[in-house]
Chains A and B, each alone.
Chain A
Amino acid sequence: MAVQDFRTCSITGLKVHLPAQNLIIVNAVAAVVLLLIGGLAAAGVALTRLPAVHLLPADWFYRFLTLHGIAMLIAWIIFFEMAGLYLGATVLLNARIAAPKMAWLQFILMLVGTLLIAAMILTGQADVLFTSYPPLKASPIYYLGVILFAVGALIGCFVFFGTLAKARKEGTYPHGSFPLVTFGLACAAIIAVVTLLHGAAIYIPALLWSLGLIGMDESTYRLVWWGLGHPSQQINVAAMISVWYLLGTLTVSMKPINQKLCRTAFVLYVLFINVASEHHILVDPVFSSAHKIWNTGYVMHLAVLASMIHALAVPAGIEVALRKKGFTSGLFEWLKKAPWSNPAFSAMMLSIFIFGFMGGITGVIFGSEQVNITAHNTWRITGHFHSTVVGGTTLAFMGITYYVLPLIFRREVLGMGFARLQPWFFGIGTILMGGGMMLAGAYGVPRRHWDIVNFGGSPFSFAWDPTVYMWLGVFGIGALLAILGGAIYVLVTVLTIFFGKKLA
Chain B
Amino acid sequence: MSISVPEKVWWKPIDKEEKIWLALALIWMLISFVWMPIYHFIGKQNPSSESYKAPRGQFEQLANDFIQKYQVKDANGAPVVMNDIPVVHPPAGGDAYLVGAGWKWTPVLELEKGKTYRIHLGSYDFQHGLSIYPLNINYMVIPNQDYVITVTPTTSGEFPIICNEFCGIGHHTMVGKIIVK
Contact = CB atoms under 8 A, between A and B. Distances in A.
Number of chain A interface residues as a range: 35 or more
A460 B140 contact: no
Contacts of B51: 285-286
Contacts of B76: none
A415 interface: no
A462 B142 contact: no
Contacts, number: 233
B91 interface: no
Contacts of A218: 127, 142-145
A289 B49 contact: yes
Given A448-B164, A449-B164, A293 B40 contact: yes
Contact of B25 (A253, A308, A378): A308
B2 A368 contact: no
Contacts of B39: 368-370
A455 B4 CA distance: 57
B22 A309 contact: yes
A215 B168 CA distance: 20
A6 interface: no
Contacts of A446: 129, 131, 162-164
B29 A305 contact: yes
Nearest to A374: B136
A15 interface: no
Contact of A249 (B2, B18, B127, B137): B2
A219 B145 contact: yes
B75 interface: no
Given A255-B2, A282-B47, A462-B160, A455 B173 contact: yes
A283 interface: yes
Interface stretch (A110-118, A127-135, A337-345): A127-135
A379 to B, nearest CB: 9
Contact of B1 (A249, A297, A374, A376): A249
Given A245-B2, A370-B46, A135 B174 contact: no
Contacts of A250: 3
B138 A377 contact: yes
A373 B137 contact: yes
A501 interface: no
Q: Give 5 nearest A-B pairs by CB, closest first.
A: A285-B51, A446-B164, A285-B147, A259-B10, A245-B2
7 contacts: A181-B2, A181-B3, A255-B2, A285-B51, A285-B121, A370-B43, A377-B164
Given A133-B126, A442-B136, 4 more contacts: A92-B4, A135-B125, A446-B131, A461-B175
